[in-house]
């Protein structure tokens, strides 16, 4: 059986043809063009879905998307301004009626977790927390092999844990949230402020690897902030694995070693003894795989 999977983000929409065994047999992407509005975005997904249905005889459509998702109904219960008009969108119903195939929808960070549980670095792990570092910080929680959605579909919002009460203003309306200090964008901002010029993150991490003192100091402060957030997650949930996702996870063991080292001084011994910090192994394919995993579990 083949499923057409989509990963809807604010910049691009990725698609893949995925087998029920978790193999991606074809994939591609097209721009989200969010300036055209959410209705047009959904029409573009419908158009591509019809094309893929024709070409690959897929049995269904699995969607990973930005925004808080009621995954029972396949509706967006809340979305930020990144995709104007997306809040309230009945994604599953609209695509189902236009394409004539069953559609399942899940939040993108939850899909990262499900993809890693199915085919990545959380395979066989009963209790883990998945963190994605990007513009903000996303979180998804799997306890006893079950994804935890929360009472209104927004459990795991780790980025809005307070780090410095009264600190930097956050997109959520509060001040001092973790993601203002420990997201990938926050690191980029700190590098620019401290160095007085823009440095791309890959370039910055090269400097850290080469031991450039100023860069190492900025990196260590950033890791310390991130680890403060993870410390609370570990004490609260006692996971055996923390999965680190987002583009920055390309830094591999440089990142996981630094986070582990920082956590070793923050987490109580019994919690720490069970804990492993791992990179998301499926990279930007995890969301497509997770969407299909969710589809197969909810047929």
Binding site for Zn ion (CB under 5 A): 160, 170, 172, 174, 177
Provide the minimum distance between the beta carbon of 208 and Zn ion in the complex, in angstroms, as a whole number: 27
Provide the minimum distance between the beta carbon of 14 and Zn ion in the complex, in angstroms, as a whole number: 27
- Are 58 and 2 spatial neighbours (Cβ–Cβ below 8 Å)? yes
Provide the minimum distance between the beta carbon of 42 and Zn ion in the complex, in angstroms, as a whole number: 28
Distance CA 141, CA 148 (A): 6
Distance CA 38, CA 180 (A): 27
Provide the minimum distance between the beta carbon of 244 and Zn ion in the complex, in angstroms, as a whole number: 20
Provide the minimum distance between the beta carbon of 226 and Zn ion in the complex, in angstroms, as a whole number: 15
Distance CA 37, CA 256 (A): 38
Q: Output 73 or 78, the one with its CB closest to Zn ion.
A: 78
Provide the minimum distance between the beta carbon of 65 and Zn ion in the complex, in angstroms, as a whole number: 20
Q: Output 89 or 158, the one with its CB closest to Zn ion.
A: 158
Nearest alpha carbon to residue 123 among 131, 111, 113, 110:
113
CA separation, residue 252 to residues 110, 205, 226, 257 (Å):
21, 11, 16, 9
Cα torsion angle, 20, 13, 41, 65, sign: positive
Q: Output 154 or 172, the one with its CB closest to Zn ion.
A: 172
Provide the minimum distance between the beta carbon of 185 and Zn ion in the complex, in angstroms, as a whole number: 13
Q: Output 46 or 80, the one with its CB closest to Zn ion.
A: 80
Distance CA 94, CA 61 (A): 12
Q: Output 7 or 179, the one with its CB closest to Zn ion.
A: 179
- Are 122 and 38 spatial neighbours (Cβ–Cβ below 8 Å)? no
Nearest alpha carbon to residue 118 among 223, 19, 30, 219:
19
> Residue 240 — φ and ψ, nearest 5°?
-95, -20
Structure tokens belonging to residue 199: 């440095």
Strands (E) located in 161-289: 241-245, 276-279
Provide the minimum distance between the beta carbon of 23 and Zn ion in the complex, in angstroms, as a whole number: 38
Q: Which residue has the tokens 């006893």?
A: 144
Q: Output 16 or 136, the one with its CB closest to Zn ion.
A: 136
Q: Output 177 or 277, the one with its CB closest to Zn ion.
A: 177
Distance CA 107, CA 73 (A): 12
Q: Output 180 or 251, the one with its CB closest to Zn ion.
A: 180
Q: In the chain, count of helices (H) and strands (E)?
A: 10, 12
């Amino acid at each position: 059986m083949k499923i057409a999977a989509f990963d809807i983000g604010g910049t691009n929409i990725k698609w893949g043809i995925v087998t029920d065994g978790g193999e991606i047999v074809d994939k591609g992407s097209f721009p989200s063009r969010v300036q055209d509005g959410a209705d047009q975005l959904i029409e573009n997904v419908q158009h591509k879905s019809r094309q893929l249905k024709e070409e690959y005889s897929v049995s269904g459509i699995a969607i990973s998307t930005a925004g808080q998702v009621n995954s029972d109904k396949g509706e967006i219960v809340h979305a930020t301004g990144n995709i104007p008009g997306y809040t309230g969108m009945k994604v599953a119903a609209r695509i189902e009626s236009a394409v004539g195939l069953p559609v399942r929808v899940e939040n993108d960070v939850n899909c990262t977790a499900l993809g890693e549980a199915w085919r990545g670095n959380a395979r066989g792990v009963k209790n883990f927390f998945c963190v994605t570092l990007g513009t903000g910080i996303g979180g998804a929680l799997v306890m006893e092999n079950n994804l935890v959605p929360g009472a209104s579909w927004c459990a795991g919002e780790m980025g809005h844990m307070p780090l410095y009460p009264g600190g930097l203003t956050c997109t959520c309306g509060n001040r001092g949230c973790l993601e203002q200090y420990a997201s990938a964008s926050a690191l980029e901002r700190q590098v620019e402020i401290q160095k007085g010029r823009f440095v791309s993150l890959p370039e910055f991490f090269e400097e850290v690897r080469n031991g450039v003192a100023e860069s190492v100091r900025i990196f260590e402060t950033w890791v310390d902030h991130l680890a403060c957030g993870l410390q609370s997650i570990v004490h609260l949930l006692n996971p055996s694995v923390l999965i680190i996702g987002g583009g920055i996870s390309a830094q591999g063991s440089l990142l996981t070693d630094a986070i582990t080292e920082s956590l070793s001084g923050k987490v109580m011994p019994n919690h720490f003894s069970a804990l492993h910090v791992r990179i998301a192994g499926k990279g930007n394919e995890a969301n497509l795989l997770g969407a299909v995993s969710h589809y197969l579990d909810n047929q």
